[in-house]
Structure 1
Amino acid sequence: MSVAPESGGAPERLRLMAVHAHPDDESSKGAATAARYAAEGVDVLVVSCTGGERGDVLNPSFGPGPTSLEGMRELRRSEMARAREALGVQQRWLGFVDSGLPEGDPLPPLPEGSFGLQPVEVAARPLVELVRAFRPHVMTTYDPSGGYPHPDHIMCHKVAFEAFEKAGDPSCYPGTGAPWEVFKLYYNHDFSLTRMRTIHEAMEGQGLVSPFGDWIESRAAREIPERPVTTRVEVSAYFPQRDAALVAHASQIDPEGFFFAVPRDLEADVWPWEEYELAESRVPTTLPEDDLFAGVRDVVETVGATVSTEGEHA
């Protein structure tokens, strides 16, 4: 893979692509990381695979929501615009339709034409095109379980992994632009049991009511395996941007609810990070990491320096 320098011999800016299933996922998973890197001059692009059309109104103070898919799509687009501004990032839609979260026993089939029913090669094609246009050095998405068993989250993982694997192969997805090989792929770990237990114990130690008690017990009872954490990014200074992005999704996030039940000073003290699992890397790196661009910066800076030196001797 070649890293093209910008005009003037300087290395190109680092680029991060965060691939999510629905609008609001970008604000609850890796949001402070995105805000931090954007503030540091990294080009950050959030990709929303679906429009969140089949999401319910989850904020009890919001009032009645739209009754049609089209109405909900427009509402969630407007919320996404405010969240994007709060984080200081770019954002693009892949254009697929939310599958909804099936409930019942047995589970009902997914709606015809929804994202979760798309063949992977069909759903991945627009993402491959976007990868080849934006040329991210790093991508983030969900682990193979989706983080939780929502069909769109599982499909999001499949599509992002496919794009990571195939975007650099000129024989794959013809007609979607020049090949671009991404350096690193990460999985988000924002709701790990370790994080929840640490914050839960800290809150109880201060005589506070933890929002995680029932959740910890239910996860432990189901013996949900904890995936390995390779990378912790310190982001406590960007909790305000994350919180502003959460509040922007007013139909989904109750400002008096779960996401805001932990005092921010306590959170910054006991868990100032967002965690990731390095799934694939095409550059050397040493684990554990504290930077998603570990190993990437060296390559980009080396290429830029080489080009600059060559120019001086020309």
Structure 2
Amino acid sequence: MSELPDRRLLLVHAHPDDETINNGATMARYVAEGAQVTLITCTLGEEGEVLVPDLIHLAADQTDQLGQHRIGELDTAMAELGVTDHRFLGGPGKYRDTGMVYDADGNAAEPPETRPDSFWQADLLTAANDLVPVIRELKPQVLVTYDQFGNYGHPDHVQAHRVATYAAALAAAPSYREDLGEVWDIPKIYWTAMAESAMRASLRQLRESGDSTTFEGLDPEGPLGPFVTPDRFIDCVVPAGEYVDRKMNAMKAHATQITVDGPFFALSNNNGNQIWGDESYRLVKGTAAPGPDGLEHDLFAGL
């Protein structure tokens, strides 16, 4: 076995584009610094809304070829970030995008009917067993995934959280499935987070600039919902402002899902570095190694 790089980061995300929105600048920074960055994407995003008029025919209710198209979008996005190791959980298309509906509270939720091959319907142990050998192969010091609500309730985000959490525990058990590789206990596990102060500042700037439609209904001084994390829960803020351009280019690569005149770019235009270049995390396993300001600024801090 070849020698592993000194720093190894594993990210587990639900659909192509989730990785760039949440962690694109972080990924680009660590690649540039020579760390091994591996992305596991759990579905092809087959149920996504198609925002490119010429590609509407790819949608799930038409030719159902969006998933294959999004493989190409992810390839392009990862090339922008410099990530060379990106894989699909169990192989491309093993787990189907579940889709989502909005519940009475305005959060994402599982649809009333889901396909049997959907990620939401996947057996948790089966899906975890697709991730355990990756963990034991790569021996990451850091794992990044979502919180227990999937940040905003999408069933595939919730399932990705569950699979990553379970697989991390199983990979660390010496007596579990020796056939899946040498045991590995991941030292630090983080959940992605959108810091409340950064979101409020960006919303404030948007509203002051006269934009009342981006994230319509969200008041910068009012309640923001579970997708925003109170600052007191933030343990690490990775400053990667010099990689914002790469993150924006990677977001543009996910063209069926993200438009340049959409909310993400509206936020960028107003407060790009703070909202997209400084990426926030909650430490849920491992020992924090904060700096003088009480925060970590490196996911590998203390290792």
TM class by shorter chain equals: 0.7 to 0.9
Aligned to 2:82: 88
One-letter amino acid matched to 1:50: T
Aligned to 1:303: none
**Following TM superposition, by how much is the alpha carbon of 1:255 offset from its aligned partner in structure 2, in angstroms?**
1.4
Aligned to 1:276: 281
**Following TM superposition, by how much is the alpha carbon of 1:272 offset from its aligned partner in structure 2, in angstroms?**
4.4
Aligned to 1:55: 48
Aligned to 1:143: 147
Aligned to 2:107: none
Aligned to 1:111: 115
**Does the Cα contact within 8 Å between 1:196 and 1:216 map onto a contact in 2?**
no
Determine if the alignment matches structure 1 residue 293 to structure 2 residue 300: yes
**Following TM superposition, by how much is the alpha carbon of 1:17 offset from its aligned partner in structure 2, in angstroms?**
0.6
Relative to 1, partners in 2 of residues 1:259 and 1:113: Cα closer, same or farther, differing over 3 Å? same
Relative to 1, partners in 2 of residues 1:271 and 1:50: Cα closer, same or farther, differing over 3 Å? closer
Deviation string, structure 1 residues 139-176 (Cα, Å, up to 9, x no partner): 10000010011111000000111122221212223421
**Following TM superposition, by how much is the alpha carbon of 1:84 offset from its aligned partner in structure 2, in angstroms?**
1.0
Deviation string, structure 1 residues 48-104 (Cα, Å, up to 9, x no partner): 0111112221x2555423145761221011111101101111200013211111467
Count residues in correspondence: 285
2:169 corresponds to which of 165, 170, 180: 165
Note the residue ranges of structure 1 that are not aligned, 5 or more in a row.
Answer: 297-314
One-letter amino acid matched to 2:285: E
TM-score with structure 1 setting the length: 0.81
Relative to 1, partners in 2 of residues 1:269 and 1:54: Cα closer, same or farther, differing over 3 Å? closer
Matches within 5 A, 1:4-83: 6=3, 12-57=5-50, 59-67=51-59, 71-83=65-77
In the alignment, the residues of structure 2 paired with residue 199 and residue 50 of structure 1 have an alpha-carbon distance, to the nearest angstrom, of 31
**Following TM superposition, by how much is the alpha carbon of 1:288 offset from its aligned partner in structure 2, in angstroms?**
1.9
2:77 aligned counterpart, secondary structure:
helix
Larger Rg: 1
Determine if the alignment matches structure 1 residue 253 to structure 2 residue 253: no
Aligned to 2:234: 229
In the alignment, the residues of structure 2 paired with residue 42 and residue 27 of structure 1 have an alpha-carbon distance, to the nearest angstrom, of 17
**Following TM superposition, by how much is the alpha carbon of 1:202 offset from its aligned partner in structure 2, in angstroms?**
3.3
One-letter amino acid matched to 1:84: M
Note the residue ranges of structure 2 that are not aligned, 5 or more in a row.
Answer: 105-109
Determine if the alignment matches structure 1 residue 131 to structure 2 residue 131: no
In the alignment, the residues of structure 1 paired with residue 127 and residue 222 of structure 2 have an alpha-carbon distance, to the nearest angstrom, of 31
Relative to 1, partners in 2 of residues 1:32 and 1:179: Cα closer, same or farther, differing over 3 Å? same
Relative to 1, partners in 2 of residues 1:288 and 1:103: Cα closer, same or farther, differing over 3 Å? closer
In the alignment, the residues of structure 1 paired with residue 234 and residue 288 of structure 2 have an alpha-carbon distance, to the nearest angstrom, of 17
Higher RCO (CA-CA < 8 Å; seq separation 6+)? 1
In the alignment, the residues of structure 1 paired with residue 159 and residue 182 of structure 2 have an alpha-carbon distance, to the nearest angstrom, of 25
Relative to 1, partners in 2 of residues 1:194 and 1:50: Cα closer, same or farther, differing over 3 Å? same
Aligned to 1:182: 186
Aligned to 2:211: 209
**Following TM superposition, by how much is the alpha carbon of 1:12 offset from its aligned partner in structure 2, in angstroms?**
3.8
TM-score with structure 2 setting the length: 0.84
Deviation string, structure 1 residues 86-138 (Cα, Å, up to 9, x no partner): 11112000132111114678951321121111221111111111111111110
**Following TM superposition, by how much is the alpha carbon of 1:40 offset from its aligned partner in structure 2, in angstroms?**
0.7
In the alignment, the residues of structure 1 paired with residue 190 and residue 68 of structure 2 have an alpha-carbon distance, to the nearest angstrom, of 30
